[in-house]
Structure 1
Amino acid sequence: MSTPDRPFASYHLWSLVAPARGQEHWHCQMRRGFIKARQHEPEVKALLAKATPPQHIGILAQKGVYEFHHHLHWLTQSDGVEKVAQLLNLSNFTIKVKQRVLQILQKYQKSPLLLGKRIIQLTSGDEGFPKPIVIEQANYCFRLYAAMDCVFIESDSTLHILDFKTGKSAFDKRQALVYLLAARYLYPGKLAVASFYNLEICQKSELITINNNELASLESELANIAYKHQLDLQKYQAKSSNFSKIFPPNPGHHCHFCPFNSICEFSHLQFDKSLSMPITKNRS
């Protein structure tokens, strides 16, 4: 848990505080509470440690790209996909995960997006938290976390930040904006663009750019998010019994897909159980 005097921001936190456009109905602040305020509790920690099949696929796909570019000859070898699959230990995963990751590897070998690029950063996806960027202005100071999948230099010297995706989820432009803000500090003076690439359907997003005025506005917005979240953490630390007031729930059908539905008293699943239990007892 963050200390009271060191607020932080990231795209992940931004997405937990405010929903993407069109997803307001499914957004639940209590999920942020479980992930960011109660993450050290044994039950919550155990649930957070369980990766879902889509998460496994995303991590393995990115690691597959990483391995291809650390063994470039595998991109042209007939057994290249098999060699990467062995490094990923795909045999340890479910058939569904294995099949989808193999398809991703086959597509990437056929059309390697990064081949020939001047790559200056390519992560395997399991490096953990990146080093924070300390952003300090006259009226705020916070730590920014931005874990970039890939950074390369275009032929015109433009810095290109690329984020890999899998599945069917829409690209969230806010993630790219956070990367562009981070690039301002990590690569000062460099002109930067950002984009997404879905490894599963081989779809590129448009190039995303931001000007200096927009960067300043974004930085201020992230500072507000950092301080709001830090205040919520302090309120919870002061009185944990107010958890549901500090991180209000938004129960509904979407609770069925929430990783915390087994321990959340407001979950639709819990609500269904509470209705069915008395009926069973009356019948018996």
Structure 2
Amino acid sequence: MSTPERPFASYHLWSLIAPTAGQQHWHCQMRRGFIKVRQHEPRVKLLLGKATASQRIGLLAQKGIYEFHYNQQLLDQSDGVEKVAQLLDLGNTTDEVQHRVLQILHKYHSQPLLLGKRIVLLTRGDEGFPKAILIESKNYSFRLYATMDCVFAESDNTLHILDFKTGKSPFDRRQALVYLLAARYLYPGYRVVASFYNLEFIKQSEIIHMSESELDCVELELANIAQKHQIDVHSCHTEEDFPDIFPPNPGYHCRFCPFHSICEFSQTI
């Protein structure tokens, strides 16, 4: 008999299960169902494969930062932005994407946040699914997924996890908490902090740090989320089960959902 797969947790799953403060009226559990249960259905897979303008901007911005530091001489060159834009093939993107990414590149070129930092990790953003961190205790066991944009070392050897943002969405502190929990396993023995940095608005968040007891609470919360999601997935056997386990929350916000065209509960008028 095969061993049942361990449940998993991530910031993305946390955000799909529980809304950020003040956003309850926007939140729809059925979106989680489409993303995590019906993702292999042809119509759902097609919609999931379509990157939005915001997603493309975020990915290209991350790649741009990577290129600036992989080829650090570009930060000193007057045409550095143009060269990075060529590496990103920005000419084959939409006008909106090209305009916003170019603005981001120009701002970073003039104020390179990571210049002079001891960079431990800097990702391109397209590396694929991260390796799971196995978390086990006497009361629970789950896989944790956490993809970090950047980690650098401060002068006192504190590790600083930095997450790059674009657009107007507010920073979600829960994402930093997941990173800090992951760092407890990836970088044992180090003091670790986390923050967000919006590349479009040159805005940095507060520095976030957690005590060991606070991280224990985050770990337990994620263990509960992992368990809940696994139960929901295993309970969904038929199409009739789907709306009961992943209840819809129709409203004006449906028009911003990627699944509105195939969701029978969608209200887009």
* TM-score category of the 2 structures, normalised to the smaller one: over 0.9
Residue in structure 2 matched with residue 250 of structure 1 by the alignment: 249
**Number of residue equivalences:** 267
Match of 1:268, SS state, is coil
Q: Does 1:175 align with 2:175?
A: yes
Q: Which residue is 1:185 aligned to? A: 185
Amino acid at match of 2:196: F
1:279 matched residue in structure 2: none
Deviations 1:155-200 (A, max 9, x none): 0110100000000000000000000000000000110000000000
1:163 is paired with a residue whose SS is strand
Q: Does 1:75 align with 2:82?
A: no
- For the 8 Å contact 1:59–1:126, the answer to whether it is kept is yes
Aligned to 1:136: 136
In 2, the alpha carbon distance for the partners of 1:33 and 1:232 equals: 9
The 5 A counterparts of 1:66-145 are 66-145=66-145
> Radius of gyration: which is bigger?
1
Indicate the residue corresponding to 2:11 in structure 1: 11
Q: Which residue of 2 aligns with 1:267?
A: 266
Q: TM-score scaled by structure 1?
A: 0.93
| Distance (Å, rounded) in 2 between the aligned partners of 1:160 and 1:78 | 30
User: Could you say what secondary structure the match of 2:48 adopts?
Assistant: helix
TM-score (norm 2): 0.98
**1:6 Cα deviation from its structure 2 partner:** 1.6
Larger helix proportion of the pair: 1
Looking at structure 2, the residues matched to 267 and 233 of structure 1 have their Cα atoms a distance apart, in angstroms, of 22
Aligned counterparts, 1:187-266, within 5 A:
187-236=187-236, 238-266=237-265
Whole-Å separation in 1 of the counterparts to 2:258 and 2:5? 30
Q: Which amino acid aligns with 1:52?
A: T
Per the alignment, in what secondary structure is the counterpart of residue 30 of structure 1? helix
SS across alignment from 2:240: helix
- Unpaired runs of 5+ residues, structure 2, are none
Q: Is the 8 A contact 1:146 1:178 kept in 2?
A: yes
* Two-structure CA RMSD over aligned residues (Å): 0.9
Which string of whole-angstrom CA distances, capped at 9 and with x for unpartnered residues, describes residues 34-58 of structure 1? 0000000000000000001011100
Please report how far the alpha carbon of residue 4 of structure 1 lies from its aligned counterpart in structure 2 after TM superposition. 5.0
Runs of 4+ in 1 over 3 A off after TM superposition: none
